[in-house]
Amino acid sequence: MAVVPGLAPKAYPGTYGIPPLPVSSPELSSYTFTGLAPDQVTAQTLSSYDTVLLYGIRWSDIPPTGQAAINAFAATHKVVIWDSDDTGPQTYSGFVHPFTTLASGEGAPGGASVVSYPSIANPFASDSSSSPYFLDPTQLVNNKHMINHMNAIQTGTKQWVPALEAANAKVPGGAWVIGWTWGKISDGTGLVVYSGLDADSLIDDLSPNYAVREMALDLAAPVQQTPAPCSPNCKLPGTGGGGHPYAACAFAKPIPKHWVRGRVPIYLRTSVASGITVAILSHSGKVLAHGRETTSPLFRLVVHTKKLPSNRRSKLRAVAYVNGQLACTHRFGLKVDNIPPRILSLSTTTTPVGARLLGLSVSEKSLITVVDPKGHVVLHSPSGRSVRPHWVLIAANKRIYLKMSGSVTVARLIVRDRAGNTVVRSLFW
């Protein structure tokens, strides 16, 4: 196959450059690649090849005679366009089936999501791990190049069929990162495949590397060289329903591991895509919190723990949807305690020598303190020393006696449990 402009394209001004084509990869080793400069592309030079691979080149860099030769070649042979973040947005106005690309550019756009895997007549991408066309969506959205730096055909382009629709921060509305069409649609002959998975991903140390897998699928796709039975009225197949969308999502802040109460904020960072919504669901699927598309991929979801059972760990799910379809799930748990501690017994006494004593037992292990009307701590430890810090940990269902400052006559008892539930009682001596 002819590789235009060559196996190691030169970098465009102001870009980091395009990596050499990984011809030694096991999935590509059965093919013979020959570099062909743009000014050498003619009908005669292409006649000895069965495939043309446009590798990280701008269409405008191919002379008009070369473009015409590629268009004629596509009618009965295969043309694979493998794009790169270095090329920027392009308009293939002189191509056999014109299209325009959107470009993420170099850097780190982030927020990648796979919007859909159109399911009919799609030999280039599948979300089913049992399919020979499987492209792992987790790798696609989490790799720093593949979809995060993608180029893509504008959605709805005529005479093209989408094979994988995706989105990221620079292309939030989504576009066709992989698409295909026949060279001559009326005859069903030839094949053109476009992949906007960033060429940089081809050399990432991944096993398997699904960008390389995609190139292998593109090169292996069969080509009809003689008119199909439907000729001269062949039509491209419909796209059918999309597979499950996938989004990148992760907790932006740690989930509380301690016991909680009241309202608990959960911070979820997601892909950027039109139509994305997020929610926190209970184990049974009840919606506890939800948020809609914003300009930022960070969502603050507040869980009202009173909707959850107390004194137990609840299993929850943080989920993201793209256009109403489930796109990612993260499971987590919250230990909820919304029930304040109960004071089982309480007494205040004064000894013959004027010492103030407090007798107390509570229903659960708690921290306690005693303060005077001015807020000063008057509680002493059982040894009689002033308490530092100002809280004493007491066991459940065990009566204890604590000594107060001798001058205290009125005070407040504060009891706080593991989740911060608080009970206050007035004390008199």
CATH number for 104? 3.40.50
Task: Indicate whether 50 and 198 sit together in one domain.
Answer: yes
| Mean pLDDT, residues 100-118 | 81
State mean pLDDT over 271-283: 83
Under the banding of pLDDT at 50, 70 and 90, the label for residue 292 is: confident
Give the position of tokens 């009970």: 423
- Domain co-membership, 95 together with 162: yes
Rg (CA), the chain: 33
pLDDT at residue 27 is higher than 90: yes
Whether 108 shows a pLDDT value over 90: the answer reads no
262 with 177, same domain: the answer is no
pLDDT of 26 above 90? yes
pLDDT at 377: 87
Task: Find out whether 2 and 49 touch, Cβ atoms under 8 Å.
Answer: yes
Where a domain ends, among 312, 336, 360? 336
pLDDT of residue 187: 96
pLDDT the model gives residue 296: 66
Q: What number of other Cβ atoms are within 10 A of residue 99's Cβ? A: 22
Checking if the pLDDT of 41 tops 60, the result is yes
> What average pLDDT score do residues 366-380 get?
89
pLDDT at position 171 over 90? no
Q: Which residue has the tokens 């026949």?
A: 182
**156 lies in the same domain as 9:** yes
Co-location of 90 and 183 in the same domain: yes
- Which letter does DSSP use for residue 189 in this model? B
| CA 185 – CA 191 distance, rounded (Å) | 9
Question: Given this model, what pLDDT does residue 293 score?
Answer: 63
Q: Within this chain, do residues 87 and 219 fall inside the same structural domain, yes or no?
A: yes
Specify whether 167 is located in the same domain as 265: no
Whether the CB-CB separation of 401 and 387 falls below 8 Å is answered with no
**What would the mean pLDDT of 147-153 be, rounded to a whole number?**
94
**Cis amide prior to 340 (ω within 30 degrees):** no
CA distance 346 to 323: 58
pLDDT for res 60: 97
State which amino acid sits at residue 143: N
Is the same domain home to 37 and 80? yes
- Residue ending a domain, among 241, 275, 302, is 241
pTM of the model: 0.74
Domain boundary among 189, 218, 241: 241
Q: Supply the pLDDT for residue 157.
A: 94
pLDDT at residue 297 in the model: 74
What is the percent of the chain where pLDDT is above 70? 93
Mean of pLDDT values over 175-188: 96
If you average pLDDT over residues 319-336, what whole number do you get? 88
Q: Are strands 191-195 and 175-181 parallel, antiparallel or unpaired?
A: antiparallel
For the segment 69-80, the average pLDDT, to the nearest whole number, is 98
Distances (CA, A) of 169 to 104, 111, 113, 203: 8, 5, 9, 23
Q: How far apart (Å, rounded) are the C-alpha atoms in residues 247 and 267?
A: 16
Percentage of the chain beyond pLDDT 90 is: 72
Both structure tokens of 54:
């446009």
Report how many domains make up the chain.
3
Assign 117 a pLDDT band (cuts: 50, 70, 90).
Answer: confident
Task: Verify that 257 and 141 share a domain, yes or no.
Answer: no
pLDDT at 234 over 60: yes
> What 3-state class would DSSP assign to 176?
strand
Q: How many CA atoms lie within 13 Å of 283's alpha carbon, on the beta-carbon side?
A: 8
Domain boundaries, position 180: 2-241
Q: What percentage of the chain's residues is helix, strand, coil (to nearest 5)?
A: 10, 35, 55
Q: Provide the pLDDT for residue 34.
A: 97
- Judge contact between 214 and 220, C-beta under 8 A: no
| 382 and 281 belong to one structural domain | no
CA dist 154 and 194 (Å) reads 12
Pure H helices in 100-136:
none
Predicted pLDDT at 238:
72
375 and 281 in a single domain? The answer is: no
In this prediction, residue 257 carries a pLDDT of 96
Same domain, 418 and 331: no
CATH number where 292 lies: 2.60.40.10
